[in-house]
Amino acid sequence: MTILHSIDELKNQFDTDVLNGKPDKDAFEEIKRKYTSRKGKIAELFAQLGSADPDIRPEAGKALNELKEYITIKLDGLSAVVSDNTEVTAADQLDLTLSGDPFPVGSIHPLTKVIEEITTIFTKLGFSLAYGPEIDTDFYNFEALNILKHHPARDMQDTFYVTDDVVLRTHTSNNQIHMMENHDPPIKVIAPGRVYRNEDVSVRSYCLFHQIEGLYVDKNVSMADLKGVLNYFAREFFGKNVKTRFRPSYFPFTEPSAEMDVSCYFCSQNGCNICKYTGWLEILGCGMVDPEVFKSVGYDPDIWSGYAFGMGIERMAMQRYGIEDIRMFYEGDIRFLRQF
Ligand code: PHE
């Protein structure tokens, strides 16, 4: 046992003596003698210091001095309250006049909160959570999703290329391919994550943002299933009175495709600047998984069918909390963050 251990042990022993003993005056004097007298425990350790390993001697000297000071202060405090027949409890040693240590309290980021809320709703519906890579190959982000090399759909998304073949993913739809490659159907997952697009930074767009992808693959999945799940989700997230509408749209990886709008949360469709006086807010893209996508992962499209959807988290958070500038999410200004 090194002298450092002995110092530690002595401190424990002292703490036990002082707390468990409920010392009366005699017991207190005994403790004091035991530790601080000329032949006491502390003196004993100081005597051993000279023969301690030179490598640890400075550290041990410091620790011993600190212990001595600790014991002296404790005993001083105790001596003030010890008198004949008075019991000393831990509470007697508590100095309520000392000021506390204030510590800063953080808050959950609004995007994290929205992601948690959305994932909770979908996990109640039996979806499991999955995550995929933010840096991915052209194949997963485009090719396997039926967005071919010279397809005009690639113009829909301005891509950050790492190399000719590697991109920062432009959507969470790459997760669809990873999931289907690694698992046999049926599949029922949602996958939240960060995505990147080379867009001009403005109040409504930023070079990175977050999406949640949903994918359900099974036998006999229909567009009615998709609408049912998304309508349920909208009511859970925005409240019972929300209205929804599906507009036909186009994505290379779904057929048919749609976009879903919800009635404006802020003006109850009376018109406001958040919904640009349309009464509707677009929240997601969705559709039935295109047979070409099934083929690229080796699923037989004659057996399996499925739906997918992808929603923008920032957009949901902005609509939910009435935030008008997307850049607020990334600036780390605690005056903003504390409001959630
Ligand atoms: N990936 C599409 C986008 O980023 C959204 C989407 C996901 C559409 C899944 C259909 C199905 O805009």
CA-nearest residue, atom 4 of ligand 1: 171
Q: Are 265 and 242 in contact (CB under 8 A)?
A: yes
Q: How far does residue 313's CA lie from ligand 1's centre (Å)?
A: 13
pLDDT at position 277, please? 92
Q: What are the angstrom distances between the C-alpha of 134 and each of 137, 147, 174?
A: 10, 18, 9
CATH number of the CATH domain containing 254: 3.30.930.10
As a whole number of Å, the CA-based R_g of the chain is 33
Q: Is residue 248 part of a domain?
A: yes
pLDDT at position 101, please? 82
Q: Is residue 296 part of a domain?
A: yes
**Structural domain harbouring 263:** 110-337
CA-nearest residue, atom 12 of ligand 1: 285
Q: Are residues 189 and 304 in the same domain?
A: yes
Please count the structural domains in the chain: 2
pTM summary value: 0.70
- Interatomic CA distance for residues 162 and 148, integer angstroms: 18
Q: Are residues 49 and 171 in the same domain?
A: no
- SS3 state at 139: helix
Residues 252-286 have pLDDT tens digits of: 999 999 999 999 877 889 988 778 899 998 999 99
Q: Are residues 56 and 187 in the same domain?
A: no
At 253, list the tokens. 């990886």
Q: Are 310 and 103 in contact (CB under 8 A)?
A: no
Residue 312 neighbours by CB under 8 Å, 6+ apart = 209, 210, 211, 283, 284
Q: How far does residue 250's CA lie from ligand 1's centre (Å)?
A: 9
pLDDT at position 50, please? 86
Q: Is residue 93 part of a domain?
A: no
Residue among 2, 1, 4 nearest 64 (CA): 4
Q: Is residue 135 part of a domain?
A: yes
Residues 27-46 have pLDDT tens digits of: 888 898 999 999 999 999 99
From 158, 168, 169, 173, the mutation candidate for ligand 1 (largest count of ligand atoms within 8 A of CB) is 173
- Interatomic CA distance for residues 270 and 278, integer angstroms: 8
Q: Are residues 80 and 200 in the same domain?
A: no
Q: In the chain, which stretches have pLDDT less than 50?
A: none
Q: Are residues 133 and 75 in the same domain?
A: no
The pocket around ligand 1, CB under 6 angstroms, is made up of 171, 173, 251, 254, 285-287, 308-310
pLDDT at position 153, please? 62
pLDDT at position 35, please? 92
pLDDT at position 88, please? 60
Q: Are residues 20 and 132 in the same domain?
A: no
CA-nearest residue, atom 7 of ligand 1: 310
Q: What are the angstrom distances between the C-alpha of 279 and each of 50, 182, 243, 311?
A: 84, 42, 10, 19
